[in-house]
Amino acid sequence: MKLMDVDLWEEIFDSLSRNKARSFLTAFGIFWGVFMLLLLMGGGKGVQSMLGQNLGGFASNAGFMIANTTSKPHKGLARDRAWTIDLDDVAAVSNCVPEVEVCTPSIRRWGATATADNRAIGVQVSGERADYIAVEDPKIRIGRGLNAIDDAQARKVCVVGSRIVTELFPDLGPDGDPCGRFIKVDGVAYCIVGVSGKGENGLTIGGSATTIVHLPYSTMQHTYNRGKEVDILCLTAKSQVPMSAVQTKVESLLKRRHLIHPDDTQAVIKVNTEAVFSMIDSLFVGVSILVWMIGLGTLIAGAIGVSNIMIVTVKERTTEIGIRRAIGATPRNILVMIMAESLVLTLVAGMSGITFAAGLLHAVERGAGEEGFQISFSLAVGAALLLSLLGLIAGLAPALRAMNIKPVEAMRED
Amino acid sequence: MTCVKEVIKDADMIRLTNIHKTYQGAQPLHVLKGIDLEIKEGEFVAIMGASGSGKSTLLNVLGILDDYDEGEYTLAGTLIKNLSETRAADYRNRMIGFIFQSFNLIPFKNAVENVALPLFYQGVGRRKRNALALEYLEKVGLKDWAHHYPGELSGGQRQRVAIARALITHPKIILADEPTGALDSKTTVEVLDLLKDLHRQGMTIVVVTHELDVGMQADRIIHIIDGQVVLGTTEGQECEQQA
């Protein structure tokens, strides 16, 4: 018996369409399983990539050190002493901790107001050197980023977040180019040279990335009279070196330089993206384990349903199979027939599940305007292969049962 | 009985020697207790017996539907013993044409497809076997009903479709199990006439029945009582002719 014989297909179709409601309900189990599995996988992947975009811009091995009041007396100094990181610390860290790739200072001002043409918006001001880009990429959308010359000459230039542009210059439209225009922050005018492309939900230090005014470090230092003070000491580690290890070294260096008790756990605040990234990673590992459990569970339940129904069908068809055996069907013929039926049922249902899931994910992508939800082609192929396997396994029990039907059954009177 | 003895052994279509069959179970049932039987090529034989006599079991053995425990069964010179399922299926397909009491057509296949089914299991191409099936349907006078489903045919028509299905593989013997059991008297006559026609064309036919009317149409009646062939029950036209 040839597998591609039209008759085999005709028989499969015949026997499946003889009991349409039952075939449909059986198929629905498989359909739903595949649909859920792929939809959840696609959804999880999409959310992950959206989160990834929000984290985007930050180096995955970035670390930040912030000064805080001390909690222990040390060398004659009382507790609760305020101290600040300064530019000498930046130089010292660069020189003394070899695992540090980039060490750059950042100063901040919260609650400032930017104005232009009688419009105003609350902003955060951040002063940063050109090498800050190694820590956080502003993802310049229009214009250019801040460079070393801006810093050296203390130019009054700025890179602004996208909301600042839309709020202060509504005449430009959403994608207009504000470069060359001036905004006033705390009474000082700065020329816009670039617009950051970071989104509303982006991970930032202090406030939304869309309302940050980035100034050259020296400009901000002079304008706000900050002297050598540094609000945030920003670090990136050399590759393969964990940021937490680097931060421990930097912390003890800072403590030595500022006469802080070595066991003081409060005086230096350490934040690193490593922890954030690994937390999100493990979150998604958990999510995907859940997705696989739910999806595969549903799918296996569907396959068991197919197997069950096929066993019932085989029982109902005992006489028919007996007749076939009596007029010359070999056990193998019967086996192939039942297996093929199960396979076709599973594949048709599963393929529609794949198609529906892909369609829905496509709609989600269009609706949300975000990429990354759609399942990959190889995943779809993998799902189809898994379905074939499930179909064969599901068909095995009923097919073996059918195979063992004796031709004598044809003689039995019903 | 005399005429049977005159038959040359090698010309026997069916030869059973001391066939025993026991159904195993909590209470083993010894159904066939040493059946000896010879049927010549071209003979029309009726096997008769009360229910429980073992005639159905004998038919199953003859039709290679069931195995036997002891003895020897030779069909057209081929020893039928301890066959694999696949081999048995092949022999059934090529050597035996079955006619059943309840017709046993496949309800979701039309007449042509039902008739062509044995050829499907021989691997004959679709077009060729459907053409052949149509030819055989014509022989049983059902050409115009070729594309009807069994549910749309009368009992007699269904049995004629079944006969066409039995004939399409050119079997050595036709085995009929109560072929008229589900038919009224008029269609019974039609079906019996068809069987007699086949007999005239040289086909070996074995009919299992409990209806004496049907048995009387045969050349010879073999009575089975309590799992054994009862001697001295031979009758029918052929013996008279030869005598």
Same domain, A285 and A220: no
Determine contact: A331 vs chain B, CB below 8 A.
Answer: yes
Residue B111, pLDDT above cutoff 60: yes
Same domain, A382 and A316: yes
Give the tens place of pLDDT for each residue, A323-353.
Answer: 999 998 999 989 988 898 888 888 999 999 9
Domain membership of residue A118 (yes or no) is yes
The CA distance from B147 to A153, in Å, is: 96
Given B90, B101, B108, which is nearest A328 (Cβ)? B90
Q: Mean per-residue pLDDT for B20-47?
A: 90
Q: Strand A157-160 relative to strand A188-196: parallel, antiparallel, unpaired?
A: parallel
Same domain, A128 and A15: no
In the chain, the amino acid numbered B139 is K
The CA distance from B13 to A276, in Å, is: 88
Provide the pLDDT for residue B242.
40
Same domain, A105 and A47: no
Mutate to test the interface with A, among B64, B106, B178 (most CBs of A within 10 A): B106
Q: Mean per-residue pLDDT for A48-58?
A: 68
Spell A336-356 as b/e; 16+ CB within 10 A means b: bbbbbbbbbbbbbbbbbbbeb
Beta-carbon contacts of B140 under 8 Å, excluding residues fewer than 6 positions away, are B160, B161, B163, B164, B194
Q: What are phi and psi of B222, to 5 degrees?
A: -110, 120
Domain membership of residue A63 (yes or no) is no
Residue A2, pLDDT above cutoff 60: no
Q: What does the block give as tokens for A154?
A: 């203390």
Given B117, B120, B177, which is nearest A411 (Cβ)? B177
Nearest-Cα distance to chain A for B115, in Å, is 10
Same domain, A220 and A287: no
- Residue B106 and residue A408: Cβ atoms within 8 Å? no
CB-CB neighbors (< 8 A) of A16 in chain B: none
As for how many domains chain A has, the answer is: 2
Determine contact: A171 vs chain B, CB below 8 A.
Answer: no
Which residue has tokens 């979150």? A283
Same domain, A116 and A49: no
Q: Please state, for a pLDDT cut of 70, what percent of chain A lies above it.
A: 94
Domain membership of residue A257 (yes or no) is no
- Residue A330 and residue B89: Cβ atoms within 8 Å? yes
**Where residue A219 falls among pLDDT bands split at 50, 70, 90?**
very high
Given A323, A328, A411, which is nearest B106 (Cβ)? A323
Domain membership of residue A133 (yes or no) is yes
Alpha-carbon Rg for chain A in angstroms = 33
- Residue A324 and residue B59: Cβ atoms within 8 Å? no
In the chain, the amino acid numbered B53 is S
Residue B238, pLDDT above cutoff 70: no
Determine contact: A413 vs chain B, CB below 8 A.
Answer: yes
Residue A411, pLDDT above cutoff 80: no
CB-CB neighbors (< 8 A) of B104 in chain A: 319, 323, 326, 410
Determine contact: A316 vs chain B, CB below 8 A.
Answer: no
Given B66, B102, B118, which is nearest A328 (Cβ)? B118
The H or E element that residue B175 is part of is strand B173-177
Residue A276, pLDDT above cutoff 80: no
Write down the mean pLDDT value for chain A.
Answer: 85
Same domain, A51 and A106: no
Give the tens place of pLDDT for each residue, B142-191.
Answer: 999 999 999 999 888 999 999 999 999 999 999 999 888 888 888 888 88
Give the tens place of pLDDT for each residue, B191-225.
Answer: 899 999 999 998 999 999 888 888 888 889 999 99
Of the two residues A276 and A90, the one the predictor is more confident about is A90
CB-CB neighbors (< 8 A) of A14 in chain B: 108-109
The H or E element that residue A51 is part of is helix A20-55
- Residue B120 and residue A330: Cβ atoms within 8 Å? no
Q: What does the block give as tokens for A104?
A: 């750059």
Do the Cβ atoms of A330 and B89 come closer than 8 Å?
yes
Q: Please state, for a pLDDT cut of 90, what percent of chain A lies above it.
A: 15
Nearest-Cα distance to chain B for A330, in Å, is 5
Same domain, A282 and A407: yes
Domain membership of residue A348 (yes or no) is yes
Provide the pLDDT for residue A398.
93
Q: Strand A62-67 relative to strand A232-237: parallel, antiparallel, unpaired?
A: antiparallel
- Residue A413 and residue B94: Cβ atoms within 8 Å? no
Provide the pLDDT for residue B3.
44
Give the tens place of pLDDT for each residue, A295-327.
Answer: 888 888 888 988 998 899 899 889 889 999 999
Q: What are phi and psi of B165, to 5 degrees?
A: -65, -35
Give the DSSP per-residue string, A167-208: HH-GGG-TT---TT-EEEETTEEEEEEEEE---TT---SSS-
First-to-last CA distance in chain A? Answer: 30
The CA distance from A160 to A356, in Å, is: 43
Show me where the domains of chain B are located: 43-57+85-242
Same domain, A292 and A218: no
- Residue B102 and residue A5: Cβ atoms within 8 Å? no
- Residue B65 and residue A328: Cβ atoms within 8 Å? no
Nearest-Cα distance to chain A for B51, in Å, is 14
- Residue A328 and residue B169: Cβ atoms within 8 Å? yes
- Taking any CB pair shorter than 8 Å as contact, residues of chain B touching chain A are 56, 59-60, 63, 65-66, 85-86, 88-90, 92-94, 98, 100-102, 104, 106, 108-109, 117-118, 120-123, 126, 165, 169, 177
Q: Mean per-residue pLDDT for A257-268?
A: 87
Helix axes A20-55, A6-18, angle to 10 degrees: 100
Nearest-Cα distance to chain A for B91, in Å, is 8
Domain membership of residue A75 (yes or no) is no
Burial environment of residue B243 by CB neighbours within 10 A (0 to 12, 13 to 18, 19 or more)? exposed
Chains A–B, number of C-beta pairs less than 8 Å apart: 76
Q: What does the block give as tokens for A214?
A: 């980035």
Given A331, A408, A414, which is nearest B65 (Cβ)? A408
Q: Which of A255, A357, A256, A346 is nearest to A307 (CA)?
A: A346
Q: Mean per-residue pLDDT for A252-270?
A: 87
Nearest-Cα distance to chain B for A293, in Å, is 41
Q: Which residue of B has its CA nearest to A321?
A: B106
Given A7, A18, A413, which is nearest B120 (Cβ)? A7
Structural domain of residue A185, as residue ranges? 100-229
Do the Cβ atoms of B208 and B177 come closer than 8 Å?
yes
Of the two residues A372 and B30, the one the predictor is more confident about is B30
Given A5, A327, A331, which is nearest B98 (Cβ)? A327
A80: left (phi over 0), alpha (psi -120 to 50) or beta: left
HSE of A384, CA atoms in CB hemisphere, 13 A: 13
Nearest-Cα distance to chain A for B2, in Å, is 34
The residue length of chain B stands at 243
Nearest-Cα distance to chain A for B201, in Å, is 22
Provide the pLDDT for residue B174.
93
**How large is the greatest C-alpha to C-alpha distance in chain B, in angstroms?**
52
Determine contact: A323 vs chain B, CB below 8 A.
Answer: yes
CB-CB neighbors (< 8 A) of B93 in chain A: 327-328
Do the Cβ atoms of B220 and B13 come closer than 8 Å?
no
Domain stops at, among A172, A203, A229:
A229
The CA distance from B61 to B181, in Å, is: 21
Domain membership of residue A88 (yes or no) is no
- Residue A7 and residue B93: Cβ atoms within 8 Å? no
Nearest-Cα distance to chain A for B95, in Å, is 10
Give the tens place of pLDDT for each residue, A4-33.
Answer: 567 778 778 878 888 888 888 888 888 988
Mutate to test the interface with B, among A17, A318, A327, A330 (most CBs of B within 10 A): A327
Say whether pTM exceeds 0.80: no
Q: What does the block give as tokens for A99?
A: 């695992």
Q: Mean per-residue pLDDT for B87-92?
A: 92
Of the two residues B10 and B52, the one the predictor is more confident about is B52
Do the Cβ atoms of A181 and A191 come closer than 8 Å?
yes
As a CATH number, domain B43-57+85-242 is: 3.40.50.300
Given A7, A320, A326, which is nearest B65 (Cβ)? A326
Residue A158, pLDDT above cutoff 60: yes
Given A329, A330, A410, which is nearest B104 (Cβ)? A410
The H or E element that residue A119 is part of is strand A119-128
Given A6, A15, A330, which is nearest B126 (Cβ)? A6
